[in-house]
Amino acid sequence: MPSKIKVYAFVGPSGTGKSYRAQMVANENNISYIIDDGLLIKDNNVIAGNSAKKAPTKIETVKKAIFVDEEDRKEMKQALKKYKPDAILILGTSDDMIEKITSHLGLAKPEKTIYINEVATKTEMETAKRMRTTEGKHVIPVPTFEIKRDFSGYILDPLQIFKMNDKHEAYMSEKSIIRPTFSYLGNFTISDTVFRQIASYVAGKTEGIYKLSRTRVESTISGTNIYMEVYVVFGYNIVNVLREFKQKIKKEIERLTSMNVQEVSVMAKGLHMPENDESK
């Protein structure tokens, strides 16, 4: 049950570098799971939740981050029940925010609270704050997508940071700098090329899909609409293959870009006969 999970809190004002230092704080306290801005993160991977950073307004962002919505709350509770973490680190801008998150998720009160000024200097916090207010940059403690991409905005730079594990072995941790959708600096979009590359990558990993033949992307205020045509391998159930591919595409694009995918349409353009390859 979620109530048995040991809860640790990492608290600091918005823009002072909490997400940047989240993995460090978690490692120092032997914690593998982090809740940050509506996401459940384990070992640099988002495993559940919906990013508050893609909310259209600042108010909606706060609601997402503290799990006001029943569906968000239910999904996170189910994930905690599934993964059964011994301990979890929750990021918040105040003790009150941490209290709201734990209350909504049915978690115990924090056993320990770490404050940002305990792990970051005043100069470091001021630098992080300046990045937030002047450039609109945020950090999320997960890696940037690793295939080649052509971003015109939103995900800006990967941060590659060398760390040491418990065995004193060096390893690299990667974080991503982003601009959220509510940024006052203006609207930011991702090139259609990125969506096509992600779709092509997922198609290659989906059993029953031979190849992606066409992709059309339409960006709207409320999100992105994606239309795709694929060739299905003969012998597979077309309906099941398209349904699985559609679900994977939506999940991967939202996970890798934090952009809101409003609608995904997938059509079977034709069938691929495997024996044709053998004859060639």
What is d(CA 127, CA 71) in angstroms, rounded to the nearest whole number? 36
Using the structure block, give the residue that is written with the tokens 């230092």: 21
Same domain as 142, residue 20: yes
What is the pLDDT at residue 147? 29
Count of domains forming the chain: 2
Same domain as 109, residue 25: yes
Same domain as 52, residue 27: yes
Same domain as 153, residue 211: no
**Span 7-43, pLDDT tens digits:** 999 999 887 878 778 888 888 899 999 998 888 988 7
Same domain as 100, residue 36: yes
Same domain as 265, residue 127: no
Domain that holds residue 97: 2-178
What is d(CA 140, CA 239) in angstroms, rounded to the nearest whole number? 36
Closest to 112 measured CA to CA, from 98, 124, 125: 98
Q: What is the CATH number of the domain that holds 233?
A: 3.30.70.1350
- Single-letter code of the amino acid located at 164: M
What is d(CA 280, CA 263) in angstroms, rounded to the nearest whole number? 38
pLDDT > 90: what percent of the chain? Answer: 38
Is 184 within a domain?
Answer: no
pLDDT, tens digit only, all 280 positions of the chain: 455 899 999 999 887 878 778 888 888 899 999 998 888 988 767 788 887 766 667 788 888 899 999 999 999 999 999 999 999 999 999 999 999 999 999 999 999 999 999 988 888 777 767 665 554 544 444 433 332 233 333 333 334 344 444 555 444 444 444 444 434 334 445 667 777 888 888 998 899 999 999 998 887 666 678 899 999 999 999 999 999 999 998 888 877 766 677 889 999 999 999 875 554 4
Is 224 within a domain?
Answer: yes
Same domain as 238, residue 152: no
Residue 2 DSSP one-character state = G
What is the pLDDT at residue 208? 94
Same domain as 202, residue 147: no
